[in-house]
Amino acid sequence: SPSRINIAIDGPAGAGKSTVARLVASTLHYIYIDTGAMYRTLTMKALEAGLTAEDAEQVTRLAERLDITLLPGPEGQRVLADGEDVTSHIRSLDVNRNVSHFAKIEGVRSRMAALQRLMAQQKGVVMDGRDIGTHVLPDAELKIFLTASPRVRAERRFQELGENPGVTLEELERDIAERDRLDEEREIAPLSRAPDARLVDSDGRTAQEVADEIVQWGQQIARTISPEEK
Ligand code: CDP
Ligand code: CDP
């Protein structure tokens, strides 16, 4: 059987990373790891504890003792925080608007990166986020930087909200742009394309088309890896 590789998928909000990463992982029988869910879980817990991103030391301690478990399930990944299912809570507007501030904290980032590297140790992982190709898994055999225009990304997110979105498309576009700005401008492990990442623009393409292309690249790379490196 071919060697297993690690695949890193980074990009801005709404580019389709998690949808595409899930499809790629299921086709290759790899494990999908949503690193954004980890930052979201930490943010939810910090907000519950009444902390702000200014409380860097306390938030770091919270991150260090928080048990985050990602479980694959039939209806998508479930997220447990200290054993409690928080899958839907971490997608709240409150978390959306705060997560990029908590994600700037050095102690939080080093803790999350350490956990993520452990999860990727055995290979056969598709990991999506902002800093996977640049910082978490710089040796990943395949790196993708997935983008789409800001309007398309906001429209995709808006569609997901259904009948009662609770925000306008314009508000959503502004929130996404602000989060991208914070993620790109932060000091530690900002959102950026690794020099060796393949740039994929998903405007006007389905998630399945994008995933098929990535699967093909992955299979090609896995075939070229010699058995000695396994
Ligand atoms: O799914 P969406 O694109 O809305 O965001 P996400 O992937 O769930 O990530 C939420 C936030 O977590 C991002 O906006 C970043 O601030 C942070 N994040 C990060 O800093 N590093 C990662 N590897 C993943 C997420
Ligand atoms: O993880 P990220 O924030 O990058 O995006 P996502 O959570 O996967 O959301 C992207 C949304 O756009 C989902 O509703 C997808 O069904 C849809 N979509 C996509 O992911 N890729 C395309 N090429 C087209 C649509």
Over range 91-95, report the average pLDDT.
93
pLDDT class of 2 with cuts at 50, 70, 90 = confident
Q: Return the ligand number nearest the Cα of 36.
A: 1
Q: Which residue, by CA, sits nearest to atom 16 of ligand 1?
A: 100
> What is the span of the domain harbouring residue 200?
6-229
Res 229: pLDDT: 57
* 83 within a domain of the structure (yes/no): yes
- Three-state SS string over the chain comes to CCCCCEEEEECCCCCCHHHHHHHHHHHHCCEEEEHHHHHHHHHHHHHHCCCCCCCHHHHHHHHHHCCEEEECCCCCCEEEECCEECCCHHHCHHHHHHHHHHCCCHHHHHHHHHHHHHHHCCCCEEEEECCHHHHHCCCCCEEEEEECCHHHHHHHHHHHCCCCCCCCHHHHHHHHHHHHHHHHHCCCCCCCCCCCCEEEECCCCCHHHHHHHHHHHHHHHHHHCCHHHC
Closest ligand to Cα 38:
1
Q: Is the pLDDT of residue 76 over 90?
A: no
* ipTM score: 0.97
Number of domains observed in the structure of the chain: 1
User: What percentage of the chain carries pLDDT values higher than 90?
Assistant: 90
Mean pLDDT of 93-97: 93
Is residue 23 in a domain?
Answer: yes
Which residue has a Cα nearest atom 21 of ligand 1?
A: 130
Q: Looking at residue 73, what is its pLDDT?
A: 75
Instruction: Encode pLDDT of 188-213 as tens digits.
Output: 999 999 999 999 999 999 999 999 99
**Atom 12 in ligand 2: residue holding the nearest Cα:** 156
Q: Looking at the domain assignment, is residue 1 inside a domain?
A: no
Atom of ligand 2 nearest to the CA of 13: 3
226 has pLDDT over 80 = no
Banded model confidence at residue 227, pLDDT cuts 50, 70, 90: low
Q: Is 94 part of a structural domain of the chain?
A: yes
For residue 209, give the CATH number of its domain.
Answer: 3.40.50.300
pLDDT digits (tens, 9 = 90+) for 161-189: 888 888 999 999 999 999 999 999 999 99
Pocket residues: Cβ below 6 A from ligand 1: 13-14, 18, 35-36, 39-40, 99-100, 103, 129-132, 179, 183
